[in-house]
Amino acid sequence: MDGLTLFGTWIAAFLTLCILSFLYKDNPFYKFAEYLFIGVSAGFWIAYNFHNLLVPNLIDPLFGADGAFPKLVREGQLDIRLLTVIAGLLGITMLFRFFPKVAWVSRYGIAFSVGLGAGLMFIVYLQANCIYQIWGTVQLSPIVITESATGWHFDWGASVANTLLIIGVVSALVYFYFSKEHKGLLGGTARLGIWFLMVSFGAAFGYTVMARISLLIGRMEFLIDDWIKETLIALGLL
Amino acid sequence: MRREIPMIVAFVAGVIIILEFFVPTLRNVAGQLQKWYLVVVAFAILVGAFNLLRMNYMKVRGRRVDWPYSIVLIVGLFAMTIVGIGWGIGQGTVFDWLFNYLMFPMSSTMFALLAFFVASAAYRAFRARTVDATLLLVAAVIVMLGQVPIGSIWVPSWWPDSLVFLTPDWLKDRIMNIFNTAGQRAILIGASLGVVSTALRILLGIERSYLGEE
């Protein structure tokens, strides 16, 4: 491990310990790391979006080596890419939010992004999350028969699984139907739907806990292997 | 007109994107609009960063509670932005170094910290008082056991295949593939219908909260 990497590891270890110190109580070390994290994250996204969104979609088409403006100056030709100026202007309107007297100008940029986002969401959600999920459910067969060397067999496992899946989706959807009071058959089905949803929430919770635990293990491994062990090696003690 | 024209802008932008799905000839126009969208999104993130900067600057200027930490925030923000925009964000850059040794450790430790709070919240909230709560508790425990080696270690090698349904691995797979899929599928269908109706409300000008106050 070279000197710069070891220096970085020490900084990373210090910040890791600063954040873990919150387990004791809120303290200046935690606050230092918390504010630094927010600042660094904001800076990260500004730089990341500059290079990945603004450069390829605004700066390069207009001012790049073969951009629309150099072409206009060099060859006197109007280029369709000049329309990209509109995107820049819409973006700049967003900054008017900071000036109360002309804050209304920011509505143009916001309206464009909200309207286009709504259009995108309309198609994406309707197709991927609604139609495909319904399609995935209705094409399940509650009776599954499989072929093997000895002939045709009724597949109990797959049949029960498919039947439960269909019952689960329908009953959970019934639970989300609030236009009629949940009584009688509707109430019973909604009750079954809640049970399916509860198992689903429990599973999601279990997965989340395990994901966080694995992150914690990762941080502990970093402190022991990358920080303490590498420092001891650098000092010639290991 | 300060509200009407933005509403028309939102309608036209959204409808072109929806129509493009059915009218492929609109693909070029929609593609161009989506590039513009990315530019506007980049500026929106800039607005958020400016706002963060302004809030913390005011805090420092007014010497309000915890103001010295706001200086740390401002320094971090400027350092990352200047280094990233000035010297690039590729591998081996200073930006990459700052990401690896500042941002990544802090981010993963923040999320790792949640392990403790989730465990403590679960200890307080997970009581098998009702059928619903019991189902949630049992499903969570089985999934957690199925995820770790200890969940399968206790199953001896001679365990009969006919009793495989009593092992955490088997139960976890069934919970994830059947019950979790059913629940998540219903949530996805319900949520997507909500998104679609909200999108329609925005495009038709019924939902106008994004325009702010008059």
Contact between A58 and B94 (Cβ < 8 Å): no
Contact between B137 and A79 (Cβ < 8 Å): no
* Exposure string for B49-68, b = 16+ CB within 10 A, e = fewer: bbebbeebeebeeeeeeeee
Residue B214 has pLDDT above 70, yes or no: no
Least confident of A24-28, A37-41, A207-211, B84-88: A207-211
DSSP string, A171-212: HHHHHT--SS---HHHHHHHHHHHHHHHHHHHHHHHHHHHHH
Inside any domain, residue B14 = no
Inside any domain, residue A188 = yes
Inside any domain, residue B149 = yes
Inside any domain, residue B182 = yes
Inside any domain, residue B20 = no
The boundaries of the domain holding residue B146 are 126-204
Inside any domain, residue B18 = no
Q: How many CB pairs under 8 A join A and B?
A: 398
Inside any domain, residue A222 = yes
Question: Which tokens is A16 given?
Answer: 């890791």
Inside any domain, residue A217 = yes
Q: Give me the number of domains chain A comprises.
A: 1
Inside any domain, residue A223 = yes
| Burial class (CB within 10 angstroms; exposed 0-12, middle 13-18, buried 19+) of B120 | exposed
- 3-state DSSP assignment of residue A168: helix
Residue B35 has pLDDT above 90, yes or no: yes
- 3-state DSSP assignment of residue A154: strand
More confident call, B3 vs A221: A221
Q: What is the pLDDT of residue A65?
A: 80
Inside any domain, residue A92 = no
ipTM value for the complex: 0.88
Inside any domain, residue A127 = no
DSSP string, B50-68: HHHHHHHHHHHHTT-TTHH
Closest alpha carbon to A143 in A151, A134, A152, A130: A152
Taking contacts as CB-CB distances below 8 angstroms, the residues of chain A near B80 are 39-40, 42-44, 46-47
Is A40 within 8 Å of B138 when comparing Cβ atoms? no
Question: Which tokens is A87 given?
Answer: 């995107």
Q: Give me the number of domains chain B comprises.
A: 1
Closest-CA residue in chain A for B194? A125
The boundaries of the domain holding residue A151 are 140-238
Inside any domain, residue A162 = yes
Calpha distance B169→B152 (Å, rounded) = 7
Average of per-residue pLDDT across B52-72:
96
Q: Check CB contact of B87 with chain A, cutoff 8 Å.
A: no
Is B49 within 8 Å of A213 when comparing Cβ atoms? no
Q: What is the pLDDT of residue A150?
A: 84
Inside any domain, residue A156 = yes
Q: What is the pLDDT of residue A136?
A: 93
Chain A closest-CA separation from residue B162 CA (Å): 13
Closest alpha carbon to A32 in B69, B60, B99: B69
